[in-house]
Amino acid sequence: MPTAEPGDRPSDTAAARLTIDLAALAGNFRLIAARAAPAAVGAAVKADAYGLGLAPVATALHSAGARTFFVAWLEEGIALRRLLPDAEILCLNGLAPGAAEAYAAHRLTPVLGSLEEIAEWRATSHGGQAPAGLQIDSGMARLGLSAEEVDRLVAYRKPLEGLSLTLVMSHLASGDDPADPMNLAQRASFEKDRGRLGLAHVRSSLAASGGSFLGSDFHLDLVRPGAALYGLAPLAGEANLMAQVVRLQAKILQVRRVDRGMTVGYGATHRTTRPSRLATISAGYADGYPRSLSNRGHACLGSVRVPVVGRVSMDLLTLDVTDAPADLARRGAWVDLIGPLHSVDALATEAGTIGYEILTALGRRYARHYLPVDGTPGSQTGAAP
């Protein structure tokens, strides 16, 4: 992310803005592609591209070389198909009941995860022609064929006959922890079940963001990163190799001086211990800034870390800017809630959550500014209606 302050422009009336660096996004894709080669690299763009906007993100990833994309819902796949007519699009949440014809009509690949889904897909006129994926549960107990279902398919293979399977996959429960023995156990379980089902020849995928960094034994034919593309650290406790993609800023609405002993915010949960300067900024939990950051979060005013004091409210939060220079702590100045000195992961740690939740919760009121891949001026979008 660029570190230069954007400055206050007379035409800039936004109270808060989210800058999304598509060049950094593309660079993250290329970094993973280089590490995973010769395996192919897909891209997870579910949940509106992790909250950053499906259209600009998917287009940038396609320009960077992505040809396989993963979404969760059928509706997400339909929206993506309009943007990328020739991409391979897989729907991770499987076959929505009664919707088989819609997948085929939009050339979407459902990742089948149960005997019921397999039966419903086979029963359609497209079941033997339109591509499908298959998920095997290797330890998540979430989606995918259970051990009992695998046993039933091994004993009676007919449900798989005639299916045009283009991918068989599983999902690591602890892919962000290289030391967790469950990773090796899941890989062994997945490989065993693939062989038992006679699917060793079908393209396979096990690694998402964390698994992409576990080494070639986990890459198989295709890795499918999501969070790492958007700048989140793929491995817990290790240096983050990914470039930061987002910068979240809000304007100071008001600065006030208060005496020692002044209470701040709803519930009077913070009391000043010295004469202080407090800055109120235009962001709150309605914008995806977690209420759990009350009295524990930080922001950056220039290079100065400033703490959140009092409760985060719906549209506002308060920062103690006593230690920041007065020329920075002024009405109309921009504060970094997420930025070069305070990453998404750092904010998530303060909030007691994960970067995934922070990204996907980012509100629609922010003015969104996209820094494009080619370095030309970015597009500015206002708040959603």
Active-site hit among 46, 50, 103, 251: 46
Residue 314, annotated ligand binder?
yes
377-381's contacts with Cβ under 8 Å and 24+ in sequence apart are 379/56
What's the token pair of residue 225? 């990163």
* Residue burial 200-225, b: 16+ Cβ < 10 Å; e: rest: eebbbbbbbbbbbbbeeebbbebbbb
- Separation CA 242–CA 28 (nearest Å): 6
Clarify whether 251 is annotated catalytic.
no
In sequence order, the β-bridge partners of residue 309 are 318
- Separation CA 103–CA 101 (nearest Å): 5
What's the token pair of residue 364? 């629609």
- Separation CA 280–CA 331 (nearest Å): 9
- Separation CA 102–CA 268 (nearest Å): 54
| Contact yes or no for 49/58 (Cβ under 8 A) | yes
Residue 311, annotated ligand binder?
no
Active-site hit among 103, 192, 251, 266: 266
Clarify whether 266 is annotated catalytic.
yes
Binding site feature residues for substrate: 142, 314
Binding site feature residues: 142, 314
Q: Which residues are catalytic?
A: 46, 266
